[in-house]
Amino acid sequence: MTDLSPLFDPKGVLVAGASTHPGKFGFVVLHNILSCGYRGNVFATNLEGESVLGVTTFRDANELPDDSIDLVFVCTPAAANVELLRACAAKGAKAAFVTSAGYGETGEEGRALEQELAAVAAELGMILAGPNGQGVISTPSSLCAQIVAPYPPAGRIGIASQSGNFVSSFQNLARQTGVGVSRSVSVGNAAVLAVPDYFDYLAADPATSVTLAYVETVTDGRAFFERARATTARQPLVVLKGGTSDEGRHAAASHTGALASDEKVFAGMCRQAGITQAATVEEAYEAAATFATQPLPQGPNVVVITTAGGWGVVAADAIARSSLTLIPLPADLRDEIDELLPPRWSRSNPVDLAGGETRDTIPLVIEKVAAHPDVHALLQLGIGIQSNEARMMRTGEYYPDHGLERIVGFHEAQDARYARVAAEVSAATGKPILVATELAVSDPDNAGPAAVRDAGRVCYWSANRAVTALDHLWRYARFRVRTDT
């Protein structure tokens, strides 16, 4: 296994080809490294030796102090880069991220340059990421060596992507959900390191608890399978696959082959390797974020707790379509909840409180349901309703009189409390408790979803999305039970 720490946790970085023009990548990456709090040495080269963002530049990498950097971030033209790698290696650099274009993506000549670059890196014993990639981030080192925004919050999701745009998408979703990233890398043309080549490092990385990958082409299917299998034995691996082709199907003469679309073979391989395959970018991110923040369920049994009927009904439908089970409410649990609510509550699963709750009902119901040994996971719906009314009151013309100030404060404190209780009870019982409301997107500052985020968890946009994420957790938990023997 290649030790990729010089790429992700370098003691110093050289930006080769720093520019004074704020529209150029050579400026942007230096700006991003400096402004996101990287604590190592930062150097830059520039043909004119001009100062960029207060950093004194060298004209040539040969002028660098010895052993001051591990990583060179390459923005210089393809033709200059072989010499650059040699100079950086001589100064002790162990890794290069090449963002420069003009390689394999441009045709035959570019492919030759790319092969030469790879050969030189191998000769120098240098890690080579890219070329034509958008960068690398590593929150344990506060490193944002990227030619694009954003810099995501710190977290435990490690990302390797064949598309730089999807790195940005995942990082944007990290900002939106508040569930952050440990490392991320855009593999670019993958001259040396392709997406699966990052799996071993991320699986062994103490800062990473789940790997999230976007893949288009798989050059060596067996190697991909073996690496994925080694990863899923340690931690979840979520894969979003793009670019399905029918190559396999066309080549087949047999009936078996006629059924063998690339998509089906890939999907089967994923199930066999314990990969969590997601269909969309949001499904992929939410699966990874759920793995990163919730315990794995020990069984399929879900109880839905809702403050109103319709949400529970649709959630139940979603559970019926999944590998999860909406269990009949155990009689002893029903009796316990009977003590807490007026008789109009559903007395079944989904537990529909039917508006019968008072100050402490929701936290108590969550605690009792989660404590029951037959229940493996909870889905909590209806958070934020009170704070939504509070927003109307606060922004209406009667505020703060007529008792509105007091009730607004009460509502918001209650919603925040529900979110806190969900996270605390989940941690205490080791059972996943997922909270869903569309307010997470329509009004993210609502005290309910805001408190879910503050608790470090995802507030799902809908019960369906929460069920999809929980289904992924249960499938992976089953895979581990099946294979950890």
Tracing tokens 């979703």 back to the chain, one arrives at 173
3-class SS string, 231-265: HHCCCCEEEEECCCCCHHHHCCCCHHHHCCCHHHH
Whole-number Å distance between alpha carbons of 181 and 78: 30
Contact 352, 312 (CB under 8 A): yes
Kindly state whether residue 477 participates in binding another protein, applying the rule CB under 8 A: no
Looking at beta carbons only, is 247 or 339 nearer to another protein?
247
Nearest distance from C-beta of residue 479 to another protein, angstroms: 9
Q: Which of 54, 107, 256, 331 binds another protein (CB under 8 A)?
A: 256
Q: Which of 48, 108, 247, 445 binds another protein (CB under 8 A)?
A: 247
Number of alpha helices (DSSP H) and beta strands (DSSP E) in the chain: 19, 19
Q: How far, in Å, are 38, 169, 284, 321, 467 from residue 380 at the CA level?
A: 39, 27, 21, 19, 11
Looking at beta carbons only, is 166 or 266 nearer to another protein?
266
Kindly state whether residue 251 participates in binding another protein, applying the rule CB under 8 A: yes
- The one-letter code for the residue type at 164 is G
Residue 54: CB partners within 8 Å, gap ≥ 6? none
Whole-number Å distance between alpha carbons of 264 and 249: 10
Q: Which residue stretch of 34-42, 97-105, 266-274, 411-419 sits at the interface with another protein (rule: CB under 8 A)?
A: 266-274
Looking at beta carbons only, is 55 or 265 nearer to another protein?
265
Nearest distance from C-beta of residue 478 to another protein, angstroms: 9
Nearest distance from C-beta of residue 432 to another protein, angstroms: 22
Q: Which residue stretch of 117-125, 168-176, 249-257, 331-339 sits at the interface with another protein (rule: CB under 8 A)?
A: 249-257
The DSSP letter of residue 359 is: T
Q: Which of 240, 269, 314, 416 binds another protein (CB under 8 A)?
A: 269
Q: Which residue stretch of 65-73, 167-175, 203-211, 221-229 sits at the interface with another protein (rule: CB under 8 A)?
A: 221-229
Helix runs in 302-401, H state only: 309-320, 331-338, 361-371, 385-395
Q: Which residue stretch of 74-82, 116-124, 218-226, 415-423 sits at the interface with another protein (rule: CB under 8 A)?
A: 218-226
Burial, 406: exposed, middle or buried (Cβ in 10 Å; 0-12, 13-18, 19+)?
exposed
Residue 451: CB partners within 8 Å, gap ≥ 6? 415, 416, 417, 418, 419, 420
Nearest distance from C-beta of residue 299 to another protein, angstroms: 17
Kindly state whether residue 257 participates in binding another protein, applying the rule CB under 8 A: yes
Site for another protein in 297-316 (CB under 8 A): none
Looking at beta carbons only, is 262 or 443 nearer to another protein?
262
From residue 422 to residue 461, what is the string marking binding to another protein with x (rule CB under 8 A)?
A: ----------------------------------------
Whole-number Å distance between alpha carbons of 222 and 231: 14
Q: Which of 66, 222, 396, 398 binds another protein (CB under 8 A)?
A: 222
Q: Which of 218, 296, 447, 458 binds another protein (CB under 8 A)?
A: 218
Nearest distance from C-beta of residue 35 to another protein, angstroms: 42
Q: Which of 39, 54, 66, 254 binds another protein (CB under 8 A)?
A: 254
Distance of CA 167 to the CA centre of its chain: 9
Q: Which of 47, 112, 252, 427 binds another protein (CB under 8 A)?
A: 252
Nearest distance from C-beta of residue 228 to another protein, angstroms: 11
Q: Which of 268, 309, 328, 403 binds another protein (CB under 8 A)?
A: 268
The two structure tokens encoding residue 315: 């959630």
* Binding footprint of another protein, residue count (CB under 8 A): 28
Whole-number Å distance between alpha carbons of 4 and 7: 5
Kindly state whether residue 331 participates in binding another protein, applying the rule CB under 8 A: no
Backbone angles phi, psi at 303, to 5 degrees: -115, 130
Kindly state whether residue 321 participates in binding another protein, applying the rule CB under 8 A: no
Whole-number Å distance between alpha carbons of 264 and 275: 14
Whole-number Å distance between alpha carbons of 228 and 272: 10
Nearest distance from C-beta of residue 220 to another protein, angstroms: 8
Q: Check whether the bond before 131 is cis (ω within 30° of 0).
A: yes
Q: Note the residues at the interface with another protein (CB under 8 A).
A: 218, 221-222, 225, 247-248, 251-262, 264-269, 271-272, 482-483
